[in-house]
Structure 1
């Protein structure tokens, strides 16, 4: 695979690495849980909870890659863009734009990647 140099190149790659709906679902869950932990940590001032935010987010994401998608998480190659994309993917899903983004990335609704 060639090295990705821009975020606009990375985003479609990221979506293709998360082609299966179940993989994205576990990412949404982990990201939302991480955000909930962060909010609770700030409201309760229990700062020791902040590391749990990362554990929650990455645990569910990495398990979905190993068990469902059967690929290596993008985090290991592009950690910053991958972190940003977890939140972007959740936002795109919550705003009803995921179908359009998947179509642009060449992914059908069942998670098959078109050549």
Structure 2
């Protein structure tokens, strides 16, 4: 995978996160856990983020070999695009627009 445009990257990212279980764990680990970790650090104990964020990040990381049977390496090579793709995927999932993108992915033969 050597995408030249963000759209090419997006389709590859989506293919690597095609299962709902993978996406759900990624949303928890990469979006909601940091928010909860920081909030807990302010409200309960200062070191909470040191536990919460790594645990949920690792859970998201391990979804690739365990659930998707792929590697996260292609996504890690472009961290900014990866972060944008995660937020786009979450927004589309929350608004019901991800189905159209998944159909587009299937039409592209990925």
Instruction: Sort the TM-score into its range (normalised by shorter chain).
Output: 0.7 to 0.9
Pairwise CA distance, 1:48: 5.6
Q: Which has the larger share of helix?
A: 2
In the alignment of these two chains, the number of paired residues is 108
2:104 corresponds in structure 1 to: 104
Pairwise CA distance, 1:40: 4.8
Q: TM-score, normalised by structure 2?
A: 0.74
Per-residue CA deviations over 1:70-114 (Å, capped at 9, x if unaligned) read 11114332222112222221111111111111111227xxxxx84
Give structure 1 regions of 4+ aligned residues with deviation exceeding 3 angstroms: 38-41, 46-54
Distance, in Å, in 2 between the alignment partners of 1:20 and 1:88 is 16
* RMSD (Å) for aligned C-alpha atoms: 2.7
Report if the CA contact (8 A) 1:12-1:105 is conserved: yes
Secondary structure of the 2:80 match is helix
1:85 corresponds in structure 2 to: 85
Q: TM-score, normalised by structure 1?
A: 0.71
Which runs of no fewer than 5 residues in structure 1 stay unpaired?
A: 108-112
Cα distance change, pair 40–96 in 1 and its aligned pair in 2 (3 A): farther
Per-residue CA deviations over 1:19-66 (Å, capped at 9, x if unaligned) read 12221121122122223334555x64x776566675255322211102
Which runs of no fewer than 5 residues in structure 2 stay unpaired?
A: none
Distance, in Å, in 2 between the alignment partners of 1:5 and 1:47 is 42
